[in-house]
Structure formats: C-alpha cells, structure tokens
Amino acid sequence: MIITISREFGSGGRELGKRLSDKLQIPYYDKEIITLASRNLGFEENYVSRMSEKGIKAAYALTIGHRLMPQGIDHTVFQTIQVNAEQHNIIRDLARQGNCIIIGRCADIILAEYAPFSIFVYADMASKIIRCMDRMQEGEHLSRKETAKQIREIDRNRRSLRKTYSDDHWGAKENFSLCINTSGIEIKAIVPSVAEYAKAWFLSRKTEENLK
C-alpha cells in the first residue's frame, strides 16, 4: 500500500497525507525526506529544501547570464543533482520498507513500478489563499495578493520539478488515481472516505490483476 500525494500549494494535500497516515496506520513522509537527505549529504536542511524545490533544469537555467562565474554555478547545479538523486534513493528505500504515504517530490513517478495509489489535490485560488492565511505563523503578515503570488510561485517550481522527471503536464488527471478538489471543504471531513477508497482501490486492482 504505497500512496503518493501531489498537490497544489495551499490545497491541503499535506494535511490530507498526515490524516490518512493516522487513519490507515501507515507512516507518512514529507519533510522527513529533506531531513534524511541533508543528513546523508552533510548539507544544511534549509539548503536541501531550497535545492529540492526547483528542478535540475531550474538550476541549469541559473547559469544563463552568469558566464563570469561559471565555477560557483556549476557547483550549484551539481549539488541540485546530488540532492535530487539522494531524495530519489531515499524514496525508493522507504517504499521498499513497506506501506507508506509520500508527499510531493514526484514520488508517483519515482515509484511507478509499485503502481502506487496516486492522489492529486487541488483547489480554487480563493480556497488556497484562505488555507494559507489560516496557517500563517505568528509574525507572518502577507496580504491576500502577496499570498496568491507566493502560491503561484511555489506551484511554478513544482511544475518545473515535475519536468525533471517526466514529460507529462503537471497535475494532468490522467496520471493520477484520484483527483480531489478541496475548494470550500474541510480536509478532516473527507479523510475517512478517502482512506476507504484507497483500500478498495488496492483490493480491486489486485482482483482485476488475478483475473487476467
């Protein structure tokens, strides 16, 4: 039972993953992957987090207009590749260990051979803004407009990261088992039924395969 969750920023995908993990009693990995990667590579967590947000292409793109200092840039590109490779290995290791839920990081592609139950979570901009503003930390003050800008920026990175691994269009429903629109609803409310759906999906796929 390998479940992957891809999501638009602010759509509640991480919360869904966390709650599904509680409900299904299987581990859940999100930032833990960053922690492991930074430990393995001996890099700062923040650095790894930033490196892994954008794809390798984005790192290469940085070289444009920086001809005067090629060495520093090469270094960044190299470390971005390293970070991505390390995360790839960690995700494969976690899946080998057994049932789990993995958030983001193109895990649905990295683990394609496991035929994971892959979820894409999305929402309209109004709902994403509300969700982001609700979870802002104390001292953080972004206007609705700034929040929308941040959402678009992070999703642009995710789209770019996806391109590192696949030619498919980020969020195209064809690549996912279930696409959940969280506009105007509470994540908590849908968790039991999504957990049931996942269990039924795994069981049914197995039955169908046996019929072949």
State the minimum distance, in angstroms, from the CB of residue 134 to its own copies: 11
State the minimum distance, in angstroms, from the CB of residue 181 to its own copies: 5
In DSSP terms, which residues pair with 120 in a beta bridge? 6, 179
Task: Check binding of 180 to its own copies (CB under 8 A).
Answer: yes
What mask, x for binding its own copies by CB under 8 A, covers residues 137 to 156? --------------------
Give the interface segment with its own copies, choosing from 67-75, 95-103, 104-112, 167-175 (CB under 8 A). Answer: 167-175
Among all chains, which residue has been given the structure tokens 């490196």? 51
- According to the 3-state scheme, what is the secondary structure of the chain? CEEEEEECCCCCHHHHHHHHHHHHCCCEECHHHHHHHHHHHCCCHHHHHHHHHCCHHHHHHCCCCCCCCHHHHHHHHHHHHHHHHHHHHHHHHHHHHCCEEEECCCHHHHCHHHCCEEEEEECCHHHHHHHHHHCCCCCCCCCHHHHHHHHHHHHHHHHHHHHHHCCCCCCCHHHCCEEEECCCCCHHHHHHHHHHHHHHHHHHHHHHHHHC
Q: Which is nearer to its own copies, 85 or 185 (CB)?
A: 185
Among positions 81-140, residues that touch its own copies (CB under 8 A) are 120, 122, 124
Task: Check binding of 190 to its own copies (CB under 8 A).
Answer: yes
Give the interface segment with its own copies, choosing from 17-25, 67-75, 157-165, 170-178 (CB under 8 A). Answer: 170-178
Task: Check binding of 207 to its own copies (CB under 8 A).
Answer: yes
Q: Are 119 and 26 in contact (CB under 8 A)?
A: no
d(C-alpha 160, C-alpha 197), whole Å: 30
Task: Check binding of 192 to its own copies (CB under 8 A).
Answer: yes
Contacts with its own copies by CB under 8 A: the residue count is: 30
State the minimum distance, in angstroms, from the CB of residue 122 to its own copies: 6
Give the interface segment with its own copies, choosing from 17-25, 44-52, 90-98, 200-208 (CB under 8 A). Answer: 200-208
Task: Check binding of 177 to its own copies (CB under 8 A).
Answer: yes
Task: Check binding of 205 to its own copies (CB under 8 A).
Answer: yes
d(C-alpha 34, C-alpha 46), whole Å: 9
Applying CB under 8 A, the residues found at the interface with its own copies are 120, 122, 124, 171, 173-174, 176-181, 184-186, 189-190, 192-194, 196-197, 200-201, 203-205, 207-209
